[in-house]
Structure 1
Amino acid sequence: AMSLRKGRLTGPKILEHMVDTVLYFEGDMHHTYRILRSVKNRFGSTNEIGIFEMHQDGLQEVANPSEIFLEERLAGATGSAVVVSMEGTRPILVEIQALISPTMYGNAKRTSSGLDHNRVSLIMAVLEKRANLMLQNQDAYLKATGGVKLDEPAIDLAMAVAIASSYRDKEISPTDCFVGEIGLTGEVRRVNRIEERVKEAAKLGFKRIFVPRNNLQGWHAPKDIQVIGVTSIAEALHKVFN
């Protein structure tokens, strides 16, 4: 916003400067789920969200969104990987789907829904250079299911594994999930709130979770889930598919 000579504010954000709290009510018209997100709060944290579902009698809170986002996951399908993402301070498990197929005409397509297009292109470039996946002549379609939008770096590892699964036509174990950022040299980098993510995965019955190796120190994992540390995307793919 701009301050005029008379002291008034002008610009598209003028209302946000006049109030104490700004809430965004997000959702997809094709899904019943809505996310209430705080982007400004003078009296508290903005790292909180609420997830609701539209019913005939109005909006109702979703107590465990992870179960809903995973309930229609198809067993035995390739190109499907589960990520433990953070929405504010809340861990949520979301399925990431990838479909890789040979390009028929012209340049390869890169299409995504609920995922950042530039991040998809980056991960595919790293997979081709660091994991020897020949993707330059492959169309790629990626999607975060449930109508959610994922944009944190910690989803990189799940995206990469889903792409490799579809490309190789190899299934990922339905009890595996993933969290980790991938760098341009192929390294899997540390993420925040790893303990909360692992506990949420264990609560929903996952048996293995792949995390950055540098995240293994300073905390104790639940006994009913195996935490596997990886240092590179090549190592992660080897452990997942072998």
Structure 2
Amino acid sequence: AAALQRLAKRQTTALLLVGHVTKEGMLAGPKVLEHLVDSVLTFEGDRFASHRLLRAVKNRFGATHELGLFEMQAQGLEEVSNPSELFLSETRASGVATIVACEGSRSLVVDLQALVNVTSYASPRRTATGIGTNRLHQILAVLEKHLGLPLSRFDCYLAVAGGLEVEEPAADLGVAAAVVASFRDLTLPPGTVLIGELGLGGQLRPVGQLELRLQEAARLGFRRAVVPRGSGLSALAAGLDLALLEADGVTEALVLALGDAVTDQK
């Protein structure tokens, strides 16, 4: 690799090295290889999905948190110009909530799907695809504590549409809404997105890049956004023809999103 690097510098030409990733998600081979190069890019994708994600792990000439999205077509890989359309469902159902996730400067409107069902196991099952299981456990505990839902007697399955990985806490409120909607058999009103981080005390915390998220939601035709109180973006939302529903805590936010049935003691 060092010899190839010297050759590339001597001839002032670009050099691409292709490697593979271990089961742990790390680049195979010695770490010194990563230090030799200017950029390290990973090409990710679910074998059951047609889209592929290009991420920068290291980049000496730009940001490392940007995301490129491509889809495999008959002619080969094609850039996805409107990525949010890949992660949205055309039909609404109970247990589905919509969030706006940020990957660098790119905002993606994404559906979350939850299924809550009475368990037949001694310990209820908790499965999450696209969101960390520990995060799901934490949100379920907050809902059980502050909404009084007996989720400890129910299995809970959660998935991000399209196989996308969502790691940021801004998805917390969407996860909570999807779980409660499935538990209560409710359908989120059309055109509603949920954005916010949940604290352990049930409070709703502000998130970064909220302005970008609201602009993307409005561009795709969403007309209601449930967000933490104090965003200071009421004027922006009005200009976007977007109703901004602000809340202090998880219970208030879910009532705004799903209605009073959220707090039924059935």
Provide the TM-score with structure 2 as the length reference.
Answer: 0.83
Which secondary structure does the structure 1 equivalent of 2:175 belong to? helix
Partner of 2:14: none
Q: Does 1:130 align with 2:146?
A: yes
Preserved CA contact (<8 Å) 1:33 1:147: no
After superposition, residues 198-217 of structure 1 pair within 5 angstroms as 198-217=214-233
Q: TM-score, normalised by structure 1?
A: 0.91
Q: CA deviation at 1:214?
A: 2.7
For residue 59 of structure 2, the aligned residue among 41, 62, 71 is 41
State the match for 2:171 in structure 1: 155
Q: Which residue of structure 2 aligns with residue 7 of structure 1?
A: none
The one of the two structures with greater contact order (alpha-carbon pairs below 8 A, sep at least 6) is 1
**Percent identity between the two aligned chains:** 46
1:30 aligned onto 2:27: no
Report the counterpart of residue 21 of structure 1 in structure 2. Answer: 39
TM-superposed CA distance for 1:215, in Å, is 1.9
> What is the Cα deviation at residue 223 of structure 1?
3.5
Does residue 231 (structure 1) correspond to residue 248 (structure 2)? The answer is yes
Q: How many aligned residue pairs are there?
A: 230
**What secondary structure is seen at the aligned counterpart in 2 of 1:36?**
strand
Query: Is the contact made by 2:234 and 2:244 (CA closer than 8 Å) also made in structure 1?
Result: no
- Output the aligned Cα RMSD: 1.4
Q: Is the 8 A contact 1:195 1:219 kept in 2?
A: no
Aligned match of 2:82 in 43, 64, 89? 64
Whether contact under 8 Å (1:80, 1:162) holds in the other structure is yes
* CA positional deviation for 1:88: 1.4
Aligned equivalents of 1:109, 1:56: Cα separation in 2: 39
Local SS of the residue matching 2:43: strand
Q: Which residue does the alignment assign to 1:4?
A: none
Would the alpha carbon gap of residues 54 and 185 (structure 1) be closer, same or farther in structure 2, given more than 3 Å must change? same
2:258 is matched with: 241
The Cα of 1:216 is off from its aligned counterpart by 2.8
**Bigger share in helix:** 2
Distance 2:211 2:185 in 1: 32
Residue 237 of structure 1, CA deviation:
1.4
Structure 2: distance between partners of 1:21 and 1:219: 40
1:91 matched to 2:91: no
Once residues 85 and 115 of structure 1 are traced to their aligned partners in structure 2, the CA distance between those partners, rounded to angstroms, is 12
Q: In the alignment, residue 217 of structure 2 is paired with which amino acid?
A: A
Tell me the CA shift for residue 73 of structure 1: 3.6
Q: Find the structure with the greater CA-based Rg.
A: 2
For structure 1, the 5+ residue unaligned runs are 1-10
After the TM superposition, which segments of 4 or more aligned residues of structure 1 sit over 4 Å from their partners? Answer: none
In 1, the alpha carbon distance for the partners of 2:164 and 2:233 equals 31
Distance 2:232 2:145 in 1: 27
CA contact (8 A) 1:212 1:230 kept: yes
Do 1:103 and 1:139's aligned partners in 2 also have CA atoms closer than 8 Å?
yes
Matched residue type, 2:188: I
Contact 1:216–1:229 (CA<8 Å) still a contact in 2? Answer: no
Hey, what's the Cα distance between the residues in 2 that align with 1:195 and 1:13?
38
